[in-house]
A and B are shown apart, each in its own frame.
Chain A
Amino acid sequence: MIDYFMQFNTEADAITAAEAAGKLGQRDDQGNWHWNLDHVAPDIKAWRISQDVTNPDGSVTHTYLSGWYCIVSLNGINAQLNNHPNLAFTLDRDGPPYVIKNNMGAVITNLGFQPIFAGSHYPIGGVS
């Protein structure tokens, strides 16, 4: 499957973009937005591995990157998502190759993300 990691300033911005495209979710009769959680994982946390701090008890503290992230997972390449201005990068969880598109440059190997969809695995550095 192809996983599109999208970055927005806020969830409201992401909803605006999804609603404009008429995809990835819908509003209920009270006007509340609902992501299609069968293939959208909203509110993903991202951090740089190099900024991690290991605490005395062995736990690791991440410094989360600003912004709001989500993963959109589809069965194939979707040009609309792949060329979207808010795309951070595109990964093929069934790779190699794993990196389909990278709008963040070489920094991708220093990125950590979670949660990820169960069963996905990206052995390319920080992205588990």
Chain B
Amino acid sequence: MSRYTGGGGYLPLTWWLAGSTIDLWFSQSKYFDSAVGDGVPVTNYLSISRASTGYAKNSSGTWISFGNDTLRITDLGLLIEGSRTNNLLNSEAPATQTTASLGTGSYTLWVEGSGSATPTGGTATITGGGAATAGSPNTFTVTVAGTVVVTVSGSLTRFQLEAGSWASSYILTTGATATRAQDSVTFAGTLTTLIQTMPNSLVIDLTAEVFPPDFWRIVGDTSSGNAYAYSPSDNTSVNQFNGTDVVSANFGGGRSYTLGAKIGTSRASGTGRSAVAGGGTVATDAFGPGTLTVPTLGESGSASQTWFGPFRRATFWNTRLADATLQGFTAP
């Protein structure tokens, strides 16, 4: 954890960062706007579209249910995920069952409770199937599409089988399989104006459920390929992207990141340049990202580039921070 969210003597008496315009500390449920004050509603700055319920786990390990179009905020942060489907029925009364036909690709089976669940091919051909136990999911591959038999042993309280190579948050099912819709979290109000106006800066602290297997967006745009910040598939850096121009800085490893980014008074490189920061370093000269028409947290308009994991804190300035300031906030 960086000094940004680590607390201690580094923070001033007020909880929001010095000079910040908008500071959204999701994991502490604290929200600040320099034009309004402390205790502002987070929904003044972020709106969400999600046509399903969704669950998020808190620091005690309890799953909390959130209704449609509701930000999933717990003491672990604001959870943002792409769409996933639980292919098992009656997820809170786990019993041996045969799935509907599954397409080819990777699937992850995870469980809660004292027993296990094991996938085997029904009419499907699978590789890598093995017992999933609490805390140890099983990821297998369907090489020939068809049904999969999931055999339950012992006493389980929940189980989930989803497409993908890692486990996402819980999806409750009863008599039909169910889909958790994607969290589409877009900027709203004065935060939209801030991010679309030069200069500006941001610092964000977040965690990924898995090392990003694609160009996962941190701050992106659903209407273009532009990204203020994203994590590329090399797993170790944060980038700014504007068509062909890319600049990166190292996160410093792990799946828990604090990153910084800024845009100067012009998108051109040189004096007043844009930059990204991670792991206590600031990348050198950058050509700033294009305007974000529909700025989002964690989304690009492409499902494979959606962030999976909680955002603990996001702070924004309507000024261009000094390199040393970004270095300080992103230092491990």
Contact = CB atoms under 8 A, between A and B. Distances in A.
Interface of A: 1, 26, 28-29, 32, 34-39, 41, 45, 55, 57, 59, 62, 73-75, 112-121, 128
B283 interface: no
Contact of B223 (A1, A26, A121): A26
Contacts of A120: 52, 178
Which one of A1, A26, A74, A117 has the greatest number of beta carbons of chain B within 10 Å? A117
Closest 6 CB pairs of A and B: A119-B53, A73-B51, A38-B184, A128-B176, A37-B83, A37-B182
B52 A59 contact: no
Contacts of B223: 26
B175 A128 contact: yes
Contacts of B173: 118
- Range, interface on chain B: 35 or more
A115 B174 contact: no
A35 B82 CA distance: 12
Contacts of A118: 52-54, 86, 171-173, 178-181
Interface of B: 49-54, 67-69, 82-83, 85-87, 97-98, 100, 171-184, 222-223, 225, 301-303
Nearest to A62: B100
Given A34-B303, A37-B303, A59-B97, A117 B174 contact: no
Contacts of A112: 176
A119 B100 contact: no
A31 B67 CA distance: 34
Residue of B67, B171, B301 with highest tally of chain A CB at under 10 A: B301
Contacts, number: 94
Nearest to B97: A59
Contacts of A115: 85-87, 176-179
8 contacts: A34-B303, A39-B49, A59-B98, A73-B181, A118-B178, A118-B179, A119-B67, A121-B174
Nearest to B49: A38
Contacts of A29: 225
Given A38-B50, A62-B100, A116 B176 contact: yes
Nearest to A3: B51
Given A28-B225, A128-B175, A36 B100 contact: no
Nearest to A112: B176
Given A26-B222, A41-B181, A34 B50 contact: no
